[in-house]
């Protein structure tokens, strides 16, 4: 039975759909763009990334969050569902990278057990750490050491290298705590040359515009963070905001939805479209259902595999032969240099 909060989120989503239909009636269909590019139907390539949302609970309430995560969210992946994930991974060695996300994935009570079990399968693990979780409670203070022990790649959002822009997007005090957390990660070797401990940052635009060049902005970040805070990191991922959930709220309330969609449509890049992350990724929801990507997951657009849309019924042949589910929000992944959980794709 759905909680009151879950029902409120569902009703809000339904209201969004009504608003979107009104705004989108004159916009070209994404599927038509893909057809013109010779990419329809869109099929997967070799599965490589197994992205798992272990829960929507988070210590932050970020304005751009497509998950609508926060302290009020109670959706948490159980140990039993994690065991189903491990079964799929054991039987599908092509999944080389396991990408753990949330919410704040570290808030799942079985997070550390899950990481340890995945490492027994000799897979590379990415954790989407929001940085502030490290300082949120004493029980998380040792996370940098835990990450190092398991050779985890840490990917963390830092909207900008200044306090005002970061706090506007993620909340008061977030920038200061993020800087402290980055320094803690540097202290154990993350982001430092020769350690092999990967620390990558993520930039999301604060307004209704597309991100700048990834390489150019990365240099700005590296220079500013090193000079001001003596912080080092490996790469900057520039990610386009997707017109769903909280960011969609902002677009609709501010009257920017139509103009933002026009920007995405005008910037459609067939090269980026051919390299979208849904082609080599499977996204797993906290309840074990399967999706083509994390964004489809938040819109409850399950994989188009009849009878194989849950971990308990996983079929590698059905997954590899499926047709990827597309919708208007997919314009966000194909604009300009494209966008994925690993930044630009073209």
Tens digits of pLDDT across the chain (346 residues): 445 555 455 555 545 555 554 556 678 999 999 999 999 999 999 999 999 999 999 999 887 788 999 999 999 999 999 999 999 999 999 999 999 999 999 999 999 999 999 999 999 999 999 999 999 999 999 999 999 999 999 999 998 999 998 988 888 999 999 999 999 999 999 999 999 999 999 998 888 999 999 999 999 999 999 999 999 999 999 999 999 999 999 999 999 999 999 999 999 999 999 999 999 999 999 999 999 999 999 999 999 987 899 999 999 999 999 999 999 999 999 999 999 999 999 9
pLDDT at position 1 is 42
Measure CA 36 to chain center: 28
Helix/strand/coil for 257: helix
CB hemisphere CA count around 337 (13 angstroms): 16
Give the full edge-to-edge strand order of the sheet including 199-203: 235-238, 199-203, 153-157, 124-128, 97-101, 49-53, 281-284, 290-291
| Cis peptide preceding 64, ω within 30 of 0 | no
79-91 vs 111-120: helix crossing angle, rounded to 10: 20
- For residues 304 and 291, give the distance between their C-alpha atoms in angstroms, rounded to a whole number: 8
Write phi, then psi, for 39 (nearest 5 degrees).
-120, 15
* pLDDT of res. 295: 95
Q: What per-residue confidence (pLDDT) applies to 251?
A: 93
Q: What's the CA angle centered on 207, arms 59 and 174, to 5 degrees?
A: 25
> Cα separation of 175 and 132, whole Å?
9
Look at residues 33, 28, 24, 25 and name the one whose alpha carbon lies nearest to residue 276. Answer: 33
CB 51 within 8 A of CB 89: no
80 CB-contact burial (10 Å; exposed 0-12 / middle 13-18 / buried 19+): exposed
pLDDT for 169: 83
CB contact at 8 A, 89 and 128: no
For the domain bounded by 45-241+278-315, which CATH number is listed?
3.20.20.70
pTM over 0.95: no
* Full 3-state SS string of 16-43: HHHHHHHHHCCCCCHHHHHHHCCCCCCC
Query: Do residues 66 and 247 touch, judged by C-beta distance below 8 A?
Result: yes
pLDDT given for residue 25 in this prediction: 60
Neighbours of 151 (CB within 10 A): 12
Domains of the chain by residue range:
45-241+278-315
Residue 229, pLDDT score: 98
> What is the structure's pLDDT at 64?
79
Does residue 29 contact residue 328 with C-beta atoms inside 8 Å? yes
Residue 4: per-residue pLDDT: 53
């Amino acid at each position: 039975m759905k909680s009151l909060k879950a029902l409120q989120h569902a009703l809000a989503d339904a209201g969004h759909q009504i608003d979107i239909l009104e705004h989108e009636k004159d916009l070209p269909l994404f599927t038509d763009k893909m057809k013109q590019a010779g990419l329809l139907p869109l099929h997967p390539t070799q599965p490589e990334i197994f992205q798992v949302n272990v829960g929507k609970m988070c210590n932050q309430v970020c304005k751009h969050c497509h998950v609508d995560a926060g302290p009020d969210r109670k959706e948490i992946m159980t140990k039993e569902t994690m065991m189903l994930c491990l079964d799929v991974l054991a039987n599908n060695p092509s999944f080389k990278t396991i990408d753990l996300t949330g919410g704040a994935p570290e808030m799942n009570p079985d997070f550390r057990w899950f990481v340890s079990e995945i490492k027994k399968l000799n897979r590379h693990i990415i954790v989407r750490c929001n940085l502030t979780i490290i300082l949120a409670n004493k029980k998380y203070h040792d996370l940098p050491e835990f990450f190092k022990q398991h050779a985890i790649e840490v990917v963390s959002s830092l909207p900008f290298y200044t306090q005002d822009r970061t706090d506007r997007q993620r909340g008061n005090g977030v920038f200061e705590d993020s800087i402290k957390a980055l320094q803690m990660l540097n202290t154990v070797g993350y982001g430092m040359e020769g350690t092999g401990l990967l620390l990558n940052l993520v930039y999301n635009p604060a307004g209704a515009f597309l991100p700048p060049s990834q390489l150019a902005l990365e240099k700005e970040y590296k220079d500013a963070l090193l000079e001001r805070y003596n912080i080092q990191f490996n790469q900057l991922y520039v990610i386009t905001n997707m017109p769903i959930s909280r960011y969609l709220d902002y677009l609709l309330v501010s009257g920017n939805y139509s103009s933002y969609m026009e920007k995405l449509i005008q910037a459609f890049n067939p090269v980026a479209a051919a390299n979208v992350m849904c082609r080599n990724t499977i996204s797993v929801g906290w309840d074990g259902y399967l999706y083509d990507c994390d964004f489809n997951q938040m819109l409850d657009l399950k994989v188009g595999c009849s009878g194989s849309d849950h971990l308990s019924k996983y079929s590698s042949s059905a997954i590899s032969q499926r047709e990827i589910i597309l919708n208007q929000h997919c314009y966000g992944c194909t604009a300009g240099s494209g966008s994925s959980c690993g930044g630009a794709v073209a």
